[in-house]
Amino acid sequence: MCSERLRKQLRLWLLRLPALAVLAAASTSLAQEAYDPHAVLVSVRNRLLPELERLPRYTCVQTIMRRYFRPEPHGPRPSCTELIAAQQERRHELPLMGWDRLRLEVAIVDGENVFSWVGAPKFEAGTFEKLSAGGPMGSGDFGPFLNSILGVATVSFQKEQTVDGKRLLLYSYQMPLSRSHYEIKADKGWMLTGYSGTFLLDPLAPDIVTLSVHTDELPDNKQVCQAISEVEYGRISIHDRPILLPRETSLRMIDPRGSDTLSNTTYSDCREYTSKSTIFFDVPPEGTVKSGARDSTAPPKSLPPGLRLLGRIVTPVDSDTAAAGDPIDVVLRKPLRYGNNVVIAPAGTPLHARLTRVQQWVGNYTQIAFQFETIEINGVKVPLRAQADFSPVGPSRVPGSTVVSQSSASRDITTINIRGERAHFRQFDWGWTTLPIDPKDDQPF
């Protein structure tokens, strides 16, 4: 009897399975339709806009890898419209011509990104072009883009997407020229441009996942037809607070001559400013004595020009990992003397320099350039400028197909050209001659 009753119950349960499946499907369908795109957008805005007000309190280190691509052979030079269309249709990159790498610190001041070399005592406006080493660099991915788009752009919902098992909502936006603050470098200065693009929101977080930014076509700009940015966001725990910051950014510049430049930026060492960590906008006083000063003798505020110094780079440099912006250390191999054989600094005195270029041209050579910043005298860092010495008949050569020369941009930048696809040295000996410090010139970065 008992077994017969169980068989009847099992038969009834099996008959109900299709109905249960229909109910489950209906429940899932209702859950999938539960997201209101407008409500999600409002929720993300309400969460992110106050957070973006706090971003000036944070700084990150950017490592920027820029790749330069050679244009394809063609007849008459295409228009910007044709070049933009060709880039959108292309399924492969153009031939690689070369690359360079930068490492900078970025923060936000007055709603704009500001930059400095890593570890420098100040951020300031006006250094963007100097630090970019002549190549393209984005200036809005660390906050300003997102703040403007969520604040004033015209936004429209497009569709739902599933990415890595997550249901995300895709929106498009338009930022007209009249409301834009985005500037692109042109041949006659900076020019304002409108832009548009898309972004993905996670309705459960609620948070932004990715953002794309396409400038308007720039037919009057002889340097750039269009700039395209792709930003991937994530949250980083700083003082136990999950802070929304870019994880990675790509910036593509389409050149009117048919070439492309692709910059990939990663972020690290993100942190909050505290009472002991301040953004300086003025040049710090010269000659500030450190607590570990070796004696009370007042060092000079700067070295006289024309002094001969022989130094050894003691920081290992490898073009596979090094970047413009990295600090390097040099030591004196012989005492630095002045006048009647007066020793200003003994052998072994530390000098501090900064890489200003790490670049490679495919199939040709790798270039490392650096600039002296300071020399430590009696425990005090004294500003230092110096130019590389040469033989009377031209640039001096050392083993390994290496040529040392002055940079064409500035005579106080030493350039080391090494034939081949990698520059790697653990120490490097050379001679330099001190240059005057221009009182109107900022302290070296």
DSSP-assigned states of every residue in 205-272 = TTEEEEEEEEEPP-TT-SS-SEEEEEEEEEEEEETTEEEEEEEEEEEEEE-TTS-EEEEEEEEEEEEE
The helix or strand, by DSSP H or E, that contains position 425, with its residue range, turns out to be strand 424-425
Q: Per-residue pLDDT tens for 28-66?
A: 443 456 799 999 999 999 999 988 887 767 888 999 999
Tokens of 423: 């520059």
Answer with the residue of higher pLDDT: 426 or 31.
Answer: 426
Distance of CA 423 to the CA centre of its chain: 22
Q: Per-residue pLDDT tens for 120-168?
A: 777 655 556 666 766 666 666 676 788 889 989 999 999 999 999 999 9
Averaged over 188-199, what is the pLDDT? 87
- Beta-bridged to residue 173, according to DSSP, are 155, 197
If DSSP codes are grouped into helix, strand and coil, which group holds residue 73?
Answer: coil
If DSSP codes are grouped into helix, strand and coil, which group holds residue 403?
Answer: strand
Contact 323, 308 (CB under 8 A): no
Which residues in 224-253 are b (16+ Cβ under 10 Å) and which e?
Answer: bbbbbbbbebeebeeeeeebbbbeebbbbb
Can you give the pLDDT at residue 393? 38
CATH class of the domain whose range is 308-434? mainly beta
Tokens of 442: 């900022």
Contact 123, 279 (CB under 8 A): yes
Is the pLDDT at 288 greater than 60? The verdict is no
> Domain 40-272, what fold?
outer membrane lipoprotein receptor (LolB), chain A (2.50.20)
CA angle 413/417/422 to nearest 5° reads 125
As a whole number of Å, the end-to-end CA separation of the chain is 92
Per-residue pLDDT band at 4 (split at 50, 70, 90): low
Contacts for 58 with CB less than 8 Å, ≥ 6 apart:
107, 238, 243, 245, 270, 271, 272, 273
Contact 230, 210 (CB under 8 A): yes
**CA–CA dist 335, 59 (Å, integer):** 40
Is the pLDDT at 296 greater than 50? The verdict is no
Q: Per-residue pLDDT tens for 365-374?
A: 899 999 999 9
Tokens 């700083």 belong to 238
Can you give the pLDDT at residue 246? 87
Can you give the pLDDT at residue 196? 96
Which residues in 275-303 are b (16+ Cβ under 10 Å) and which e?
Answer: eeeebeeeeeeeeeeeeeeeeeeebbebb
The helix or strand, by DSSP H or E, that contains position 51, with its residue range, turns out to be helix 37-54
Can you give the pLDDT at residue 51? 85
If DSSP codes are grouped into helix, strand and coil, which group holds residue 307?
Answer: coil
How far, in Å, are 311, 332, 394, 404 from residue 391 at the CA level?
17, 20, 6, 11
Burial (0-12, 13-18, 19+ Cβ within 10 Å), 67: middle
**CA–CA dist 206, 26 (Å, integer):** 25
**CA–CA dist 359, 101 (Å, integer):** 7
Per-residue pLDDT band at 395 (split at 50, 70, 90): very low
**CA–CA dist 195, 228 (Å, integer):** 9
Q: Per-residue pLDDT tens for 61-105?
A: 999 999 999 988 777 888 999 999 999 998 889 999 999 999 988
**CA–CA dist 227, 394 (Å, integer):** 41
Distance of CA 302 to the CA centre of its chain: 32
Can you give the pLDDT at residue 409? 65
Averaged over 415-437, what is the pLDDT? 88
Domain limits of the chain?
40-272, 308-434
